[in-house]
Structure 1
Amino acid sequence: MKLKCDKIERMRQLRREVMALEGFLPSKGKEVDRRVQLGPMEEAFPEQAFPLGVNHEFISNTASEAASTQGFLAAILGMLLQKGGYCLWLGIRPQVFPPALKQFGVAPDRLVFVNVPREKDLLWTLEQALSCEALVAVVGEIRELGFSESQRLQLAVERSRVTGLLHRHRPVSLHALACATRWKVVPLPSRPEAGMPGLGFPTWKVELLKVRNGRPGNWQMEWSAEGFQHIIHEENVPNKPKERRYA
């Protein structure tokens, strides 16, 4: 009986060691705690922690989805860079509006944009950036990515512990990649505060399509100065003021 218990405990230890290597558990002795607060979305991950030191894939098919995805990425970056560090944002023609990133907590001096003129050079540049231990995160706007190429990017982050955020706008193929997660962010109509003019906070339907060792799901989320808020109501009527209820 004792031998069986020892085997079970050893299996648990091995599983935790593998999950730590994959970024699902905090590394022991790490100086800076860069936990990303995602509210109820965290329940989808092992140990309820957004995995760091891995690559995350984000899919968008329209211009509005791409803009929403960039906002979601900016919110994650704001949390990752809250305690210092730097991030590179790579792409051929990045469409993000830099001044708007401050709304998501991203300090301008923490983010560097790199425009790569040719698609074939983007993968190499992205791999080099993900291998740089001086960085906290790298955003790569890359349309097409093969499985073997994604493995190279995975090996890079395993060595450097940099968190990769790969935004694929209008990809031709959605085959499996060596990424820890696959996301899709869709815009929803914002809701103005009751009695207040103008637009409300950014609101999205966030879908976690795939997650290694976790449970996929979808949520309606709103971003404000307090961070991510889970919207309980299901209907989304544009320009109709309504009291919000949060989880």
Structure 2
Amino acid sequence: MQAVKKDSLEMLRKEILDLQGLGIRPDSEQVNVPLGEILENMPGGVFPTGAIHEFLSPTLTSAAAATGFIAAIIHSLMQSGKPCVWISTRRMIFPPAIRVFGIEPDRFIFIDTPREKEAFWAIEEALRCESLCAVIGEIATLDFKESRRLQLAVESSRVTGFINRRFPHRITSTACVARWQVQPVNSKATIGLPGLAFPRWKVELLKIRSGRPASWLLEWSGNAFHTVVNENPQQSMLPNLKTGVA
């Protein structure tokens, strides 16, 4: 009887994920994003693709950290061979620096617009294009209605969207599948080796639909994420902002 109940609950859980657009796709379509321990907090134990991920970046340093973390995730999504579109009103990324994350800058299409209204339009249209693996949008404002439009766009195209909200004016609930906050953490040089160390971030999953919020200290090396243990990450840079709910 217990086995029957367990199987029934598992089937119900999968049906709910399918209705939310987070169902596990066939192995031929599933993208493996090696996030390590973070995947234990994800719905179905996998990184949600074909969904919108929101990042809160109130400062230049946090925006840069989020950019690096997103680029590291894009490394896995680009294994499909499809390009990525990067849309911003004030581009701050230095394209050659993307090579740090194992991808060439010519795999990206950069679009710069004068105003956020045009940027949002470009993001929504790009998310409808099935020929892309992902779309990165750098805007400040995103309300529930706008986020719902973006989420509906990716549910049909299965493109993964990343909205890096630089200097957000107001934090409210959105329809995004996940809300993240990424902060830079001092790297630790390898013993006996000179030069810069590998990038490190304190990654906070503030909300995740059908998952569990938590925080981790991650390092990017060897084109993969590694969890750093027994070290204290720096404190959150958003102590007074409300994270909202899914």
TM-score (norm. length: structure 1): 0.87
Q: Distance in 2 between matches of 1:226 and 1:115?
A: 28
- 2:44 aligns with 47
- 2:173 aligns with 176
Rg comparison, structure with higher value: 1
The aligned runs of 1:128-207 (5 Å cut-off) are 128-207=125-204
Q: Distance in 2 between matches of 1:134 and 1:226?
A: 24
Select the residue among 74, 77, 84 that pairs with 1:77: 74
- 2:238 aligns with none
Q: Which amino acid aligns with 2:189?
A: P
CA pair 7-82 structure 1, distance change in 2 beyond 3 A: same
The 8 Å contact of residues 24 and 44 in structure 2, kept in 1 or not, is answered as no
Residue 86 of structure 1: CA displacement?
1.2
Residue 235 of structure 1: CA displacement?
4.0
The 8 Å contact of residues 25 and 49 in structure 1, kept in 2 or not, is answered as no
- 2:115 aligns with 118
Residue 27 of structure 1: CA displacement?
1.9
- 2:226 aligns with 229
For structure 1, the 5+ residue unaligned runs are: 238-247
| CA root-mean-square deviation | 2.3
Q: Which amino acid aligns with 1:37?
A: P
The 8 Å contact of residues 92 and 117 in structure 1, kept in 2 or not, is answered as yes
Q: Give per-residue Cα distances to partners, 1:76-135, cap 9 Å, x unaligned.
A: 111100231111001111101110111102223321111112211111111111111111
What is the SS of the residue equivalent to 2:220? strand
The 8 Å contact of residues 34 and 79 in structure 1, kept in 2 or not, is answered as yes
CA pair 194-13 structure 1, distance change in 2 beyond 3 A: same
What is the SS of the residue equivalent to 1:82? helix
What is the SS of the residue equivalent to 2:80? coil
The 8 Å contact of residues 23 and 52 in structure 1, kept in 2 or not, is answered as no
Aligned residues: 234
Q: Distance in 2 between matches of 1:8 and 1:194?
A: 49
- 2:22 aligns with 24
What is the SS of the residue equivalent to 2:189? coil
Q: What is the aligned-residue identity percentage?
A: 46
Select the residue among 47, 67, 73 that pairs with 2:64: 67
TM-score (norm. length: structure 2): 0.87
- 1:244 aligns with none
Q: Distance in 2 between matches of 1:23 and 1:67?
A: 29
